[in-house]
Structure 1
């Protein structure tokens, strides 16, 4: 049986001190982390119990995209046991800083603010907006531009979400946009035909599609991401997070990630959890260091 621990936001109380300690840790400690992991054949991962990123399966084991990726990366190196720590999303980085976990594996997006607290692996996923439509995509929606071009299309989205803002920034008039309190309400509106399409994050869309009761909707594929004014696509790049001192462990994982990208393992795990390798695999040219610079 797996070993489970539930953490709460209380971890954040000591996060600053723990983080300072980890930042000042020596290179020798970083080497010891990976060496100890390989010697003990054990690693501890933290995740937020959210599908499809990482969640507790019916068998009690951690499942999901990132836990599976960690297993695939380290099992060939002799790491046979993965200890699991469930935490609130906001408590994951404090748990890492406090050395309660070795890796955060929960769909964490790379951004400059987080890069001040952790070091990231190279990105594995490029996650943008997903659009849910009626079965067969009868209105042929493959971009926000398609909605702009057809004033009869009614788009739904979460109130205050970045996905909804992307749709509005792409030029969809507010008169064509209906705002909802949460994903469940927007999906209900779609199935009731009160809207023709709903925008949400790819992760949320995949989780919605796992419901056995949803039979008359599908993901709009392909779907072109919104291009921001700076010319860059509106994408979040997901990766694993490590303590700043654990550069050797991070580098070891990056080497395995490159191998899994080349041998097809990464694509298989993506497909298992509803991600499209052609649409959502992060390009090798996109580097964590550059994303940390914004």
Structure 2
């Protein structure tokens, strides 16, 4: 994902601020605050749309030709349509601002392929996993340092790039790579550019993000995906939709419809295949958000 990464994938921080949404159910605040989201789904049905945040990170959630595209918006549009909410209203956010913006009531859902991590679970409510995406590295053509995983990178003493606040930063730290050998970058393209100009030896992100990025960056290769270890546990980089904790009923309804898609391999691949997702990205049935948040 960016490792999602990106996935994205990914980022932290945030405090909530209050405010009300005019014209929807009185007990539901969906702009400028979230004191009580118990009737949020009813409010969204009445409005006919749901505000979703994206970070412009392909292939997870990005805008192209004025249209919101990617894994998360495509999947979420299908889910919300089934819930009686026919339109997604996109709101752009820098990655580090996604969760703070959610908590501040700027949108109802994060549609960015965000990695499900315990520290994020403490701040917001994740859906069940939408996908898994092992980690990979973007390297100069031919992989001159013969990198295959983080252990090989540590042995070689190379300099790695990671996205600011991304899950991969934690993987690199857990592998024991010195902080002096890690460069923090803002956008995926920054990582590709840093490899091209020799500022870093490899850019670490989810394999699916790097394969997508490699389409538009010549002279670079992407290593075979691998599963980093943190505390002796393999990291699959699962991603999901993100809701405010007070929106538990909306999240539960979302999960019911999501399960119908992730349980149907052909439908899943038909929807997400255009963004490089295959049956290999389907989350295992026993990989749950409760387990991931407790890790």
TM-score, normalisation: structure 2: 0.70
Aligned residue number for residue 228 of structure 2: 226
Per the alignment, do residues 210 and 47 of structure 1 end up closer, same or farther by CA in structure 2, a change over 3 Å counting? same
The whole-number CA distance in structure 1 between the counterparts of 2:92 and 2:46 is: 25
Q: Give the structure 1 partner of residue 34 of structure 2.
A: 22
1:83, CA displacement in angstroms? Answer: 1.3
CA distance in 2: counterparts of 1:185 and 1:118, whole angstroms: 28
Match of 1:260?
261
Stretches of structure 1 lacking an aligned partner (at least 5 in a row):
1-10
Q: Which structure 2 residues correspond to residues 138-287 of structure 1 after superposition, within 5 A?
A: 142-144=148-150, 156-158=159-161, 163=168, 166=171, 182=185, 187=192, 198-202=202-206, 204-211=209-216, 214-221=217-224, 223-228=225-230, 230-264=231-265, 265-278=267-280, 280-287=281-288
CA contact (8 A) 1:52 1:206 kept: no
Equivalent-residue separation in structure 2 for 1:115 and 1:147 (angstroms): 30
Aligned to 1:41: 48
Using the size of structure 1 for normalisation, the TM-score is 0.70
Distance verdict in 2 for CA 1:248–1:166, change over 3 Å: closer
- Report what 1:131 is aligned to: 137
Counterpart for residue 291 of structure 2: 290
Structure-2 separation of matches of 1:104 and 1:160: 18
Q: 1:64 aligns with which of 55, 64, 70?
A: 70
1:50 maps to which residue? 57
Q: CA deviation at 1:166?
A: 4.4
**How many angstroms does 1:136 deviate by?**
7.5
| Cα distance in 1, alignment partners of residues 264 and 245 from structure 2 | 29
CA RMSD for the aligned pairs?
Answer: 3.9
CA distance in 2, matches of 1:91, 1:192: 29
1:8 aligns with none
Q: Distance in 2 between matches of 1:268 and 1:207?
A: 18
SS of the aligned residue for 2:52 comes to strand
Computing the radius of gyration from Cα coordinates, the structure with the larger value is 1
CA contact (8 A) 2:16 2:105 kept: no
Residue 117 of structure 2: aligned partner:
111
After superposition, the Cα gap between the structure-2 partners of 1:41 and 1:163, relative to the gap in structure 1 and judged at 3 Å, is: closer
- Structure-2 change in CA distance of 1:86 and 1:188 (3 Å): closer
